[in-house]
Structures are given as structure tokens and as C-alpha cells.
Chains A and B, each alone.
Chain A
Amino acid sequence: MKAGKTLKVDIWRGGEDGYYQTFAVPYQTSQTILDVVTYVQRKLDPTLSYRFSCRVGMCGSCAMTVNGRPRWTCRTHVDLVAEDGHIEIEPLRNFPLVKDLAVDMSVFFDKWRDAKARFVPSEADLDGFANVDPASRERKEASAGIECIGCGICYAACDVVAWNPDYLGPAALNRAWTLVNDVRDADPNGHLKAVAGDAGCHACHSQQGCTSHCPKSLSPTASIAGLKRKTFAALLKGGL
């Protein structure tokens, strides 16, 4: 598209039983979807609710469904997604809707807690820092999953979450996998037990919706496969 053109933007308004409202937004070069939403809120309708913070792809606040796919809107250019100058913006799937484009993220983070996806410190080592070999398999596995920004895009992209609302989801399981591989963590079997339940890693079908949509190019699918292997081995060894 060229500067001076106008985008036709359909934005979801209201709650679950809401509707699409159409806005005309001037197109600009290098314009992001977050720029479009911000333009609508500041120039056309100040009652539009949405969430953002850093604007540079670090905080994970601004994820929305854009033309049917979950995306981080601050790093998604209009040129990438607009279809004949048309953009449809909805709230993230699989989350309770608060209003317009703002969803309630608490269920998502509650599942990080339920997956025991937090570091368990061991006895304080007064001799200094833990030595973790950067070339070790564990460190590489942890590094592969560590850059998650908690945006919820994988959770919105996951069909298993849609089918089973109790499923812990890709992000929580990915975080648990990084901790299982953290040699400083004091309770690796505790992490495995937490994710081995009814709605844990074994519910994953490896469809890779999470992996194909992750804006950080992480592979929660690979992390979940790792958890399946580790829980299987721990079961056979009697560790669970």
C-alpha cells in the first residue's frame, strides 16, 4: 500500500456477545497494528479498551487476534497482514474477555503457578555462584525456552486449551521445562509431578500451533516433548 490510502479496520467491541465496529484509519509506512489501534483510541473513539506497555516486543502485553491469527501487535506491520487494506482485530482466543480487545490474563498466569513453574532455590551456596557449563545439554535446553515474554499468544493458538480449559498450556509447560533443566533448581521431580497430571504435558497433541505462532520463535512443543520424555523416565525409575 501507499501513504495516503485508508485502511478499513474492523475492531471487536463489547464483551463476549459484542460486535465488530468499522473504522477508517489513514495508512502510513512502517505502521504497526498497535499504531492502528492507538490511532482509533486517540482520534476516533476514546472508549476503546486495549492493553499495551513497552511497544518494542519485550513486555508481552499487546497480543491480539489480527485477521484470524494471534500476534504481538507492536511488532506486526500492517503491510504484513492487511488484506486489500482490510484488517480485523479481535481479542485473544481462549481468554475470558474483559472488554473490546482487553482479556483477563489471570487464568494464564494462574496456570504457571499450578505448573510449579517457578524456581526452587537450593541451600544457599556461600562459596559463590553456581557454575553452569554453557555447552552442557541442560543449559542448552533451558536457553532454548528461556526468552518467553508471557504474551499468551501460544495459549490463544492452542486447540488443546480450547478443548480442555484445565490444560496448563504451552507457556507454563515451557517454563517448567526450563526449570527441570536448571541444575541449580532444588526440586526437579516436583516440577515433573506438577506437569504429569490430567491437564499437563501429556494432553499436548504436538500440533505446534504454539510453535508456529510464538513471536519469539520458541518451540513450546519441543519443551513439552521433553517433559513427556523426562516424566516417562522418572516414572520408570520410580521417581514420581
Chain B
Amino acid sequence: MSGRLELWLFALQRISAMILAPLVLVHLATMIYAVQGGLTASEILARTQGSTIWALVYGLFIVSVAVHGAIGLRTVVREMTPWRGTGASAVAALFCVAVLVLGFRAVGAIT
């Protein structure tokens, strides 16, 4: 595997981490705020449906998680299993696609 690819993967993982850090805080704060008066689907949907901001926030969240998690998973697979080459990258790519599909499906359902 070329050094340039590894370096780009490292850079992407760092950048996605920088994006995720504030988004995770926003996500946690919203969760704490949302459960104050009990947790109902209608209350959540009232806040998120038709909201461009929440669609953008969680859309960015999904992309960052897909990139960040997949690169990390690739490293774990390469270190902990015999799949050191394209096998690990294939697992990571599948994970990335799965997170994107499931994530945007969820975002689509609440906004």
C-alpha cells in the first residue's frame, strides 16, 4: 500500500474527527434537552421534520462517522486479523457504504 494513500487516510480520519468532536457535543446536548419532558417520537419529529439545519447537521454527522469509522475499522482489521491487504480495505469500504445507506435512510425519515 502506498505511503501517500496511508497519509491521505490519516488526514481524512483527523479531519473527520475534528468535524465529529463538536457534532457529538451537539448530539449529546440535544439528547439531554430532548428527554427533559419525557421522550416521544412526535416531539422529536416536530423538531426535526422540515428542518434544513437538522438535516445538514445529521447529514454531516453521517458522512464523518462513515469516513472516520471505516478508516479506523480498516486499521483494526489489518492489525487483528490475517487480512492485511485489500481484504481489510474491502471490509472498511463495505462498512462505510452501510453506514452511509442506513444513516441517510434515518436522516430522510426524521427530516
Contacts and interface: CB of A to CB of B under 8 A. Distances in A.
Interface size class of B (residues with CB under 8 A): 10 to 19
Interface stretch (A34-42, A81-89, A230-238): A230-238
A232 B80 contact: no
Contacts of B80: 163
A9 interface: no
Contacts of B3: 193, 196-198, 200, 240
A236 B11 contact: yes
B7 interface: yes
A200 B9 CA distance: 13
Contacts of A235: 7-8, 11
A77 B7 CA distance: 43
A181 B79 CA distance: 30
A197 B79 contact: no
B23 to A, nearest CB: 21
B105 interface: no
A164 B78 contact: yes
A160 to B, nearest CB: 7
A160 B75 CA distance: 11
Interface string A156-186: 0000100110000000000000000000000
A197 B11 CA distance: 13
B6 A202 contact: yes
Contacts of A191: none
B87 to A, nearest CB: 15
Nearest to B75: A203
Nearest to B5: A198
A197 B14 contact: no
A228 interface: yes
Contacts of A197: 1-3, 6
A164 B6 contact: no
Contacts of B79: 160, 163-164
Nearest to A229: B14
Nearest to A195: B3
A191 to B, nearest CB: 12
A196 B8 CA distance: 10
A197 B1 CA distance: 8
B11 A240 contact: no
Interface string B23-35: 0000000000000
Given A163-B80, A164-B79, A203-B75, 4 more contacts: A198-B1, A202-B10, A232-B7, A235-B7
